[in-house]
Structure 1
Amino acid sequence: MSNNEKGTDLEPRSSGADVDQAGAAGPERFDNPGLPTHRDRATDRDPAAARRAERTVIVLFALSVLGTIGTVVAYIMVPTGESVENMRLSNLLLGLGLFLSMFGIGAAAVHWAKTLMSDHEQAEDRHPQRGDAETRQAAIAALGAGAEDSGIGRRGVLKGAVVSAVALAPLSVAVPLVGELGGDWNVSKFRHTLWERGRRLTRDPSGDPIRAADVTIGSVFHVIPEGLREGDHADHWIEEKAKAVVLMVRLDPADLTEAEDRRDWSYEGIVAYSKICTHVGCPVALYEQQTHHLLCPCHQSTFDISDGAKVVFGPAKRALPQLPITVDDEGYLVAQDDFNEPIGPSYWERLK
């Protein structure tokens, strides 16, 4: 049986009028059916419903105003540098304030459009971009009619609510931004950390000093400087920790590839590197023992711990800064000096 006998259409379709199943020619175009019949809303029929909708919109705009004020107050009143709890509380309050500020305006605008503004369907024929004077006058009249239909002119409280919410909303972003712009721009502090000659390496977060004899081959330690919460830096120890965190690994010395000027920076296969990725500053802490690779979870930059923490994959462009270490008279691991270069990603005053 042929394909045509099976009912398969192998012939090209006609470019003329469509043909129905009976073989009769169909119309080449259909008449414009026009717009569907308009259905009035409850707010169109019932003035009480319109007033309720107006009050709802006003409440939503007022909620936006309260969110903006709350954001500014939270930014001013809740410091972020004193403790982790303060940081979490500040982030929570700022997030809630920003949400209410933006959500209030958005929800109010949507409810206003759905319940109070005109919902009559409109159709306009296409025309040249610039119309004649008569068309332009008609457009202006249509815009005026739309503004009148929205009710903003005769609803004073609603007008005040929308103006207040829209005018204050940028403050929820501008105040924190200006506060940060006016903050500490001394980037030179990134050149140095708490590490210095003789400062012991301690476990994070306990602060217990680490003996070299307790570090076995393949083991990984998250390290912070001894006395992190003491002395002049006690009030801002979180910032100091963020700069000074270290990942320490012990390898078989035979697996280490070390530059000539760094051969005394490790101790019997124990090496220490900054945990701050040189791409955008994420914490690098995923260590793969078999390959000696250290992975940044943010953008997958990969560093080879056995070869100077050089980049082997990903967007990072520089090796992790190394912390030169040795042991003291009691066998505890100590720093020989600060990192060999500024930690973290690039900035405009950095030479490397």
Structure 2
Amino acid sequence: MPSQTENAAPYRVHWTVRMNHRNRTFSFVLLGVVLGLHMSRMDVAAWGWVLLGVQFLVYPQVAYFTAKRAKDQLAAETRNMRVDAVCFGAWMAALHFPVWIAFILFTGVSQNLMAFKGPKGFVQSVALVVAGVLPVAWFTGWAFHPATSGLVTALSISVITLYLGVVALDGHRRSMRLHEARLQVRSSEQASQRQLTEIQALHGLLKEQANRDGLTGLYNRRYLDATIERELARCEREGQQGALLMIDIDRFKQINDVHGHQVGDDVLRHTADILNERVRSSDIGCRYGGEEFLLWMPNTQAAAALDVAEDLRRSYAASPWLAQGKQVVPAMLSIGVAVFPDHASQADSLIAAADRALYQAKHEGRNRVCVARSRVQA
């Protein structure tokens, strides 16, 4: 059975803690070497060497261990950097402020705190270094020995150069990762925008398909029902007339019975094509149901509507459908015309008036146009 330790989730160490652990581990070793070389020229007690080992070899691991197990790892690492500043101030005072050593110690802690705290970090680093300096200087006495040997000076310059190079390299890597992340975000945004555009286009297509008759491509009755009241209201608002043509294919059932439903469908498509060829862009042609079609013509008076209806009827009679390219399928149109507001002022009443006119055309022998005779009250 797996132990609780095996089941425990691994620590997710904050990137700041990992980076500072790496930098602190290697830079502290180099600093320990520099300080050790300088201390070798001084009369240092054994406990001083112990402190040097603890500070520059043991402390970096302890700082990492405490930070990675802290609830707030970034806050814990910030405390570690402040401890670094206090300890470095103490070492400056203990060694009597050798210039190059003091320079690299202060530069290291100030750069770290400034990287995460900005200008405030520099002020904190000065205050914390002073806080480390004062008790040690009070205990050991104030003394200034700024000189360092040529070897210590050269190592100090090398250490600070290497440290600044590492800091710059880390900054470069973070900048490149940030740049790549921004590119990925931009790419994702562009992909999302493309998907949104495609979805909107598909939505528009589906909406258009929902309003179209699948066989003829004309608008369907659903679209007519949603549009006609708005069209009548616009005509009334602008003081215009409008004409409604109810169109029916004569003896369409006979066409289906004699030639088959496939030919019947072809005749319906042929009818829609002729209708589309002879209407204005502002007109609305619909398949009303079965072999019935409806044409709404805004800003159209009765005489003009009658001319359009007669032109449709004649054109249709003059262009019979050729089944399979050779068999003539004769077909005629009967058309009823109703005009807004002359025959009705409401959609249902106007359609009923056009339907009665169509019935009259059928009753009088088909293949003709009839205009509604009397107003139907809404």
| Fold match by TM threshold 0.5 | no
TM-score (norm 1): 0.21
The structure carrying a bigger helix percent of its residues is 2
